[in-house]
Structure 1
């Protein structure tokens, strides 16, 4: 004989189903990852990004910007607490805007000036309110839902002759990201660098198709 659930049992079952649905929705929207990153930043678990063995790829991107777009404007997507911004003297850019989730932005907020801004935002939905000379994805392009479509959207916010500056950790599966985005955005230059531990990054300057 089929057992009839009591009102309390039915309510508990519906609550579990709702909770499961909410978890699945958060996963689909990437909200579970966002909450994880927020918690990790709050606990200081991303402080290793300031280690000496992380310096090389930051320095290459900073050097590209200062050589190719001196005194230009820079949009840094997935900026963290602004480590790349610290590699570029403020006198070398007219405007810097860093975008990331709220916890890293809290750590960067004290550096805000007339030229330097840090904004809370999700790179998959963020809409710049102006065009920039350079847009950076420094170890962050993996977090675009679709890297190629994401760059195509952000290309609308590059000034004429603007550039993308991209650093990607060397891993076999990341070669597909380069293949996809370079089918539309040809590289102007590229550098591969390894630290003493054997960890490597490829840094590239990508140009946008003429509009």
Structure 2
């Protein structure tokens, strides 16, 4: 019991202090590896997840459903990684106008369709077989939900940008996440992508814990702009020094995260994050006297000057060197605060 209390203390402390979590995290360099679909199929057939329908396993679902319904009466909800669509049981009391669940396990989808047959017949519910990393639909929703699955779906920035077209103008991302240090890394990154509307932690009598949150992301173009900056940390150092300055209108948190990404790759940059009119702006500059290193640099001291306060962000790294070129060719990259990029 003492260990569980200590662990929960560390998890709660790391919500706002990422370095605390990094310090106490075991196997911090070991990635989260999603289980193969065959494992999920077998466990759904064997009824391993039948317990999720029990009331004492759905605290987080009820809270998230209430958060959603409070802002969007009769909401339209898309859930990625929906399993059998158990979240709908919590949404049912709020009379959702539409619920679409997506999961890559055929047995899970089949069980959900059988249980929710009446709602599906009425056109309120649909459960679809698909991969949450690249699922596409023409429908738009008030909320796109990732319930205990976002850590298995790749880079969170790419994921939010992918589903941004499916959100209504005032739409948001809903999240439930098992309270553990490694998945919380993704929460820290998700917070930089927009405005946190609701955030809560649930502790259960049996020792479980979840983070439950709703985040309104920046427009897709703004997320692409942030990814463009982060990509600078992964292109060849000579390419960065060849273009010693890049101005992008971003929030202060995104600016700080971009500078951290460059620092993690050993690229010496300085940054200013407020323009002369007080608008959020990041200017990344490589020192004029710097020469491109011959080999990949080790982590170097980074001169970072911020003209406005911001919260501490962990480094973010992207692994697609062609991303910058693709985004630069797109004409619709807009300043989230108005104007063209």
Match of 2:141 in 1: 132
* Structure 2 residue corresponding to 1:87, chosen from 90, 99, 118: 90
List structure 1 runs of 4+ shifted beyond 3 angstroms: none
Residue 139 of structure 1: CA displacement?
0.9
Q: CA RMSD in A?
A: 1.8
- C-alpha distance in 2 between matches for 1:206 and 1:91: 20
User: What aligned pairs does 1:1-211 form with structure 2 within 5 A after superposition?
Assistant: 33-89=36-92, 92-100=95-103, 101-110=105-114, 111=116, 112-113=120-121, 114-210=123-219
Distance (Å, rounded) in 2 between the aligned partners of 1:210 and 1:203: 22
Q: Is the 8 A contact 1:97 1:117 kept in 2?
A: yes
Pick 1 or 2: higher relative contact order, CA cutoff 8 A, min separation 6: 1
User: Of Structure 1 and Structure 2, which has the larger fraction of its residues in helix?
Assistant: 1
Aligned-pair CA distance for 1:70: 1.1
Residue 126 of structure 2 aligns to a residue whose secondary structure is strand
Gap change, CA 1:201 and 1:90, over 3 Å in 2: closer
Report how far residue 156 of structure 1 moved: 1.8
TM-score scaled by structure 1?
0.80
Deviation at 1:32, TM superposition (A): 6.4
Displacement of 1:165: 0.8
More strand by share: 1
Structure 2 stretches lacking a partner, 5+ long: 1-32, 221-341
Report if the CA contact (8 A) 2:164-2:219 is conserved. Answer: no
Task: Give aligned pairs, total.
Answer: 182
Unpaired runs of 5+ in structure 1? 1-29
CA distance in 2, matches of 1:140, 1:32: 11
Give the CA deviation at 1:90: 7.1
